[in-house]
């Protein structure tokens, strides 16, 4: 599914080079739920933006579904991102001037999907996250937990092979966080591959596998007891 080998990401100014990732290697198999943890500034979010093809690594290899994607041009990256990857961000990233339905529909329009199919996908996704009655509401009219559910619905409407979640419960109270986490777990049970960056060890413990990152490098990969037998045997 996702294979990174020897990735580095360097940010340069005229006088300073800063390594956000250094010889970063990670494999995520089809259908896994992986939590990525580490201290602030460790490179977790940089890893996620590269995994989501939002930026390119400075060196190394990134293969997605067996295809080398790390150095593709912007158009090719955008196409793969739109067709295969879903995002859930801590800040929700909803467009305030669009209602719930239109927020979810926007990425589908970029695929030039027919209106009937877009409408069906949006409504199915909203029902899936329990917000079927809220499609005409605007983000400001929703709670934080509801906004995050809309963000998940937006990702689901595109039928992503890979769901990337960056601190998806970071702006939520404990009750809403549990609700969103339960939804992610449901999606994983249905076969979605999920990579979640989190600072919360309790949330990380609910994932199938934990990866710990420090100073831009993977220093520990702990398999949880819930790792399926088929994966454990690989």
Quick: pLDDT tens for 200-232: 888 899 999 999 999 999 987 654 434 443 443
Residues 137 and 168: beta-carbon distance below 8 Å? no
Tokens found for residue 113: 């999907």
Angle at 148 between CA 143 and CA 151, to 5 degrees: 130
pLDDT tens digits for 56-71? 999 999 999 988 997 7
Q: Which domains does the chain have, with CATH numbers?
A: 2-232 (3.40.50.300)
pLDDT at 225: 37
Tokens found for residue 119: 């409408």
Q: Is 230 helix (H, G, I), strand (E, B) or coil?
A: helix
Beta bridge partner(s), residue 11: 18
Burial class, 179, CB count within 10 angstroms (exposed 0-12 / middle 13-18 / buried 19+): middle
Whole-angstrom Cα distance, residue 154 to residue 148? Answer: 10
Residues 26 and 44: beta-carbon distance below 8 Å? no
pLDDT at 233: 38
Please state the rounded mean pLDDT for residues 86-101: 91
pLDDT at 221: 64
Smallest CA-to-CA distance from 181 within 202, 210, 154 is with 202
Whole-angstrom Cα distance, residue 131 to residue 66? Answer: 36
pLDDT at 10: 92
Q: Identify the residue whose tokens are 């998806």.
A: 168
pLDDT at 197: 94
Smallest CA-to-CA distance from 195 within 160, 143, 225, 229 is with 160
pLDDT at 222: 57
């Amino acid at each position: 599914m996702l294979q990174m080998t020897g990735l580095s990401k360097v940010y340069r100014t005229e006088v300073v080079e800063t390594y956000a990732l250094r010889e970063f290697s990670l494999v995520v198999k089809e259908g896994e739920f992986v939590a990525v943890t580490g201290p602030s500034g460790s490179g977790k979010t940089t890893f996620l933006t590269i995994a989501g093809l939002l930026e390119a690594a400075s060196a190394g290899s990134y293969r997605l579904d067996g295809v080398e994607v790390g150095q593709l041009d912007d158009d090719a990256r955008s196409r793969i991102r739109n067709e295969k990857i879903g995002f859930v961000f801590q800040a929700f990233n909803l467009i305030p001037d669009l209602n719930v339905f239109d927020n979810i529909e926007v990425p589908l329009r970029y695929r030039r999907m027919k209106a009937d199919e877009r409408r069906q996908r949006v409504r199915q996704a909203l029902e899936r996250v329990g917000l079927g009655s809220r499609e005409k509401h605007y983000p400001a009219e929703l709670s934080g937990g509801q906004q995050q559910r809309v963000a998940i619905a937006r990702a689901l409407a595109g039928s992503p092979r890979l769901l990337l979640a960056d601190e998806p419960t970071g702006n939520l109270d404990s009750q809403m966080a549990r609700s969103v986490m339960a939804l992610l777990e449901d999606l994983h049970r249905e076969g979605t591959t999920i990579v979640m960056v989190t600072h919360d060890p309790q949330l990380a413990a609910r994932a199938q596998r934990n990866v710990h990152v420090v100073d831009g490098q993977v220093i520990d990969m702990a398999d949880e007891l819930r790792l399926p037998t088929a994966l454990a045997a690989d």
